[in-house]
Chain A
Amino acid sequence: MVDFDMYDARAPKIMAYRCLTCGTAYYPAPMVCGKCSARRDPVTGKGWEAFELEGSCELLTWTRVWNLPEGYTKKYLLFGIVQFENGLRASGQLEVEDPKTGMRLNATVRESDERPGNPVNVFVFKE
């Protein structure tokens, strides 16, 4: 039978990866584990576990960019680098009134068609 669930509307997710041989987590995924040299096969996924990068995070640094690249029509965008409780870090957009280094934010994901080609998943860190 066909898995009809695959056609359901899905909330976009951004995945981190864990090497099952030594337990080290990465975002984004490497092709070889930096710690134990276990290889990652993107086709079978064997030996690695993908998990959702989400939830509470701390804002490490941020900027407000006024000169956005081609494809963006906003006057400016806020960007930041955050650290999750599991130690992983990520970059993304911010939806914050008054950003301050060290503040606690919540990681959400949205789909964007601002980049050329197919839609992509974008982190939006919110208060």
Chain B
Amino acid sequence: MSIDEMEKKLRPPEIPLKPYLPKVITLASGEKMVVREARREETGTLLGTIYPLIGVPTDFYDIVAVRMYAELLGWYRYRVANEFVIVGAVNGVIAGIVTSRHVSSKLGMSLHTLTIKRGLRVGAQLFAAKMEHHLDDLGEEEVHIVAESPNGFKRWMIEYQLEDRSSQFPEVRHELGGVPTYVLTRKLWEAVRNIKCTGTRPVPEQDLKSAERLIMPSEYPQIPGFKR
């Protein structure tokens, strides 16, 4: 695509990011979830996956879904810098999506975590994958995190023992506008990595193939009676 002068002005400067190497996790049900980075051309599938949840207020799905919808479009249309999107797929069907931003070589900004497949800790696995990419792959020193949902907040704040920087507001201020900002430092990540982050690399051929084409879920536990 040729980029004209105006478009050049509208795009943020990009730092080329190391790719996230796909991994496969065996969920408790025995199903295999391939965790891989999403490609821009898959945006339509991702948006279609999230869209129905915009109307679900329980568990804060509505605000997470609508903000993630914006983040995906921002990424796709080159209006948000250095964003990456990681997806968890079971037999190709999207189980969950996470979005995040590499702000600088030292700093990551965690955006959102959305889970469709419930009861199997998919969200926990994808959140850990996000942190893995920030700290292990992209080499940042710390990641800033906020939460919209109270239970999600406590799960991360207590289980990861995140550093509370809320007292440093407004100097320390998360992009999403949330207060308080909590921080996962390299030291804290190292202390929890082996109990939070798992997965096998490289992904066996047939599992990777199953996740080659992402599929929108046909059922949502959050929306009983949903029909696509």
Chain A residues close to B by CB (< 8 Å): 66, 68, 73-75
How many residues of B sit at the interface, in one of the four size bands?
Answer: under 10
Q: How far is the CB of A73 from the nearest CB of chain B, in Å? A: 6
Interchain Cβ contacts within 8 Å, total number: 8
A74 — which chain B residues lie within 8 A by C-beta? 161
For the complex, give the distance between the alpha carbons of A68 and B159 in Å: 10
For the complex, give the distance between the alpha carbons of A66 and B158 in Å: 10
Residue of A nearest to B191 (CB): A75
Chain B residues close to A by CB (< 8 Å): 158-159, 161, 192
For the complex, give the distance between the alpha carbons of A4 and B192 in Å: 50
Can you name 6 extra interface pairs (CB under 8 A) apart from A75-B159, A75-B161?
Answer: A66-B159, A68-B158, A73-B158, A74-B161, A75-B158, A75-B192
Q: How far is the CB of B195 from the nearest CB of chain A, in Å? A: 8
Tell me whether chain B's interface is mostly helix, strand or loop, or mixed: helix
B158 — which chain A residues lie within 8 A by C-beta? 68, 73, 75
B159 — which chain A residues lie within 8 A by C-beta? 66, 75
Q: How far is the CB of A19 from the nearest CB of chain B, in Å? A: 44
B161 — which chain A residues lie within 8 A by C-beta? 74-75
For the complex, give the distance between the alpha carbons of A75 and B158 in Å: 6
For the complex, give the distance between the alpha carbons of A66 and B195 in Å: 11
A73 — which chain B residues lie within 8 A by C-beta? 158
B192 — which chain A residues lie within 8 A by C-beta? 75
Q: How far is the CB of B70 from the nearest CB of chain A, in Å? A: 33
A75 — which chain B residues lie within 8 A by C-beta? 158-159, 161, 192
For the complex, give the distance between the alpha carbons of A74 and B159 in Å: 8
For the complex, give the distance between the alpha carbons of A68 and B155 in Å: 12
Q: Give 5 A-B contacts (CB < 8 Å), ordered by A residue.
A: A66-B159, A73-B158, A74-B161, A75-B158, A75-B161
A68 — which chain B residues lie within 8 A by C-beta? 158
Among A66, A68, A73, A75, which residue has the most Cβ atoms of chain B within 10 A? A75
